[in-house]
Amino acid sequence: MQNSIRFILQALGEDPDRQGLKDTPKRVEKSLRFLTSGYGVDPDALIGKALFDESYDEMVLVKDIEFYSLCEHHMLPFFGKCHIAYIPNGKIVGLSKLPRLVEAFARRLQVQERLTTQLAEIIINRVQPKGVGVVMEARHLCMCMRGVQKENSYAVTSAMLGSFKTDQRTRMEFLNLIALKKPL
């Protein structure tokens, strides 16, 4: 990888041996390996045994989960907040597992639409709730720094499964709860 990065630097007209760039191939490789470390995470194993029998049957929401990812089209960052809710069906999942799932899927080359769907699908399949809702809000540097260069725009995607898709009241409760200002 480092040789490829040196080649890219040369193709850009840079001298990869100059002082400021001498260690850049090594740093870029380390950075890319970290930013794509989600490929090495098994989301099923991540949930593992963190499923607990519980009769709680109201909405569980974890909101404002920060995430960072790389757009697969330009390999530029996109980042923002993710909101995940589900309605238990006899089982709950450890709350920390939801941000961990976001991290696992975000640390891959991604598009926001797929990332949103992957999160909803892993939760519906592993936790088996009555329904799940995922909303992601993100700023994409490929839109801010290049292309249309719109610095203040951001994308919002959603995935609604089960009762979040079929029951308008459940869907609206979720959307209203994520719209509330942070109480802490």
Let me know whether 172 and 147 are in one domain. Answer: yes
Structural domain total, the chain: 2
Is 101:43 a contact under the CB 8 Å cutoff? yes
pLDDT reported for residue 184: 61
pLDDT reported for residue 147: 74
Let me know whether 96 and 175 are in one domain. Answer: yes
Residue 122, amino acid: I
Supply 22's token pair.
């001498």
Nearest C-alpha neighbor of 137 from the set 153, 161, 150: 153
Residue 16 maps to a domain: yes
Residue 98 maps to a domain: yes
Let me know whether 122 and 89 are in one domain. Answer: yes
> Which structural domain range is residue 158 located in?
50-179
Residue 42 maps to a domain: no
Phi, psi dihedrals of residue 80, rounded to the nearest 5°: 170, -145
- The whole-number mean pLDDT for each consecutive block of 10 residues of the chain, a chain of 184 residues, reads 97 96 97 97 94 97 98 95 98 97 98 98 98 97 78 90 98 95 67
* DSSP notation for 147-181: TT--TT--EEEEEEEEHHHH-HHHHHHHHHHHHSP
Let me know whether 104 and 23 are in one domain. Answer: no
pTM of the complete model: 0.93
Q: Which CATH number do you get for residue 65?
A: 3.30.1130.10
pLDDT reported for residue 144: 77
Residue reference for tokens 């929401």:
61
Q: Which residues are catalytic?
A: 71-74, 112, 140, 142
6-17: burial string, b at 16+ Cβ within 10 Å, e else: beebeeeeeebe
For residue 52, give the 3-state DSSP assignment: strand
Is 105:43 a contact under the CB 8 Å cutoff? yes
Supply 182's token pair.
């942070």
Let me know whether 62 and 26 are in one domain. Answer: no
pLDDT reported for residue 183: 62
Helices (H), the chain: 2-11, 24-35, 43-47, 97-106, 112-126, 141-144, 163-166, 168-179
Distances (CA, A) of 31 to 2, 17, 74: 12, 20, 16
Let me know whether 61 and 21 are in one domain. Answer: no
